[in-house]
Chains A and B, each alone.
Chain A
Amino acid sequence: MTRWLFIVAVTGVLSALFLFGLLRGKPDREIASNLIGKHAPDFTLPLHKGFAENLGENFSLAEHKGQPMVINFWASWCPPCFQEAPALATAWRKYGTEVLFVGVQTQDPGRRDEGQKFVDQFALGFPNVFDSQSSLSIDYGLFGVPETFFVNSEGLVIYRHTGPLSKITLDNQIGKLVR
């Protein structure tokens, strides 16, 4: 009896470790962020071409305080970023008047032109900036791209999503911002 209990316990522990390993490798998952409940770190970064004409050379988050925001980090080499971009563009068309969408090209050194092509390809009409040194990645505690932060009107981060966004996640999280 004791021997059976021992075998069951060992098998259970090994299975749990196996499952943990499988889930760790899944890109689309929730990872607790140290920023939840804290103010979204401020930044001023150069805008991609199309936006500079209307908004100026740089975009500063501080100038948009009081507005709920969706801050999306992406890179031009990242397939999941391409995967989520249409959903993001659709959400912006739907909620763009209530929520400020900001795209940040990061972890993508020296590829500003490729970033511009990405913006043009998906007709992203919301401001997209270029984080040439990836320093904003560190300020936001990014593990990779894509990652998205949902910030309420008080400037507090309420949710962080790692991996490609789905329409459902966008609708749910934006729903909480505009409620």
Chain B
Amino acid sequence: MRHLSNSVRQVLGLLAVIGGLAVADSVQSEEAKSRMDSVRQLEQQVFDIGRKLRCPVCTAESVAESSVQIAIEMRWIIQEQLEQGLGEQEILAFFQSRYGDWILLDPPKRGVHLMLWLLPILAALLGLVFLAFSFRRWQNVAKNSIELDNANLNRVRKAVEEARR
């Protein structure tokens, strides 16, 4: 009986160890998962900010997409600044202070850059006005009856008859 109870004790002990390991493993994997999530979130933030910055030495490429060294360094700076707790606007301002507005892929809505936002709207409005005038002119032309003298009327009749044959 004592022998049996020892065995039971051993089995229970083993089960407790296995259970403990399983709990520890699940806690550890939770921690790893949360670490991975925060790394992914940081990477996504770096990418999102990088997409708003022009790669200074590339043609039509953002810092997020370029693989040149300066773009890689800029991504490092963005990551460092995010880790220091800086916000997106502060990070964009950091690069803007060095390169000027040129570095921003979304030009600011002020000064000469305002033209970039207003010109397409202005062009669309002008296009609409042009179309409205054109339609009105065509309508007026369609409304006015065309007066033909007999000679021209006969020419038209003749042409229609020939076409029907």
Q: Cβ of A34 < 8 Å from any Cβ of B?
A: yes
Q: Is the CB of A134 within 8 A of B98?
A: no
Nearest neighbor of B71 in chain A, beta-carbon distance:
A134
Residues A107 and B97 in contact in the complex (CB < 8 Å), given A138-B77, A143-B57, A144-B56: no
Q: Dominant SS at the B interface?
A: helix
Q: A154 to B140: give the CA distance in the assembly, Å.
A: 73
Q: Is the CB of B69 within 8 A of A107?
A: yes
Nearest neighbor of B70 in chain A, beta-carbon distance:
A134
Q: Is the CB of B73 within 8 A of A143?
A: no
Q: Cβ of B100 < 8 Å from any Cβ of A?
A: yes
Residues A107 and B57 in contact in the complex (CB < 8 Å), given A137-B70, A138-B73, A138-B77: yes
Q: Cβ of A126 < 8 Å from any Cβ of B?
A: no
Nearest neighbor of B100 in chain A, beta-carbon distance:
A34
Residues A109 and B56 in contact in the complex (CB < 8 Å), given A32-B100, A34-B98, A141-B100: no
Q: Is the CB of B73 within 8 A of A134?
A: yes
- Residues of A near B99 (CB, < 8 A) are 34, 141
**What 1/0 mask marks residues of chain A from 5 to 35 whose CB sits below 8 Å from any chain B CB?**
0000000000000000000000000001111
Q: Which residues of chain B from 90 to 128 have a CB within 8 Å of any chain A CB?
A: 95-100, 103
Q: Cβ of B82 < 8 Å from any Cβ of A?
A: no
Q: Cβ of B74 < 8 Å from any Cβ of A?
A: yes
Q: A6 to B66: give the CA distance in the assembly, Å.
A: 42
- Residues of B near A139 (CB, < 8 A) are 98
Q: Cβ of A60 < 8 Å from any Cβ of B?
A: no
Residues A133 and B73 in contact in the complex (CB < 8 Å), given A107-B57, A142-B56, A144-B56: yes
- Residues of A near B68 (CB, < 8 A) are 107
- Residues of A near B73 (CB, < 8 A) are 133-135, 137-138
Q: Is the CB of B70 within 8 A of A138?
A: yes
- Residues of A near B97 (CB, < 8 A) are 34
* Interface residues, chain B, with chain A CB atoms under 8 Å away: 56-57, 68-70, 73-74, 76-77, 95-100, 103
Given A138-B95, A141-B98, 12 more A-B residue pairs with CB atoms under 8 Å apart are: A34-B96, A34-B97, A34-B99, A107-B68, A107-B70, A133-B76, A135-B73, A138-B98, A140-B98, A141-B103, A142-B57, A142-B70
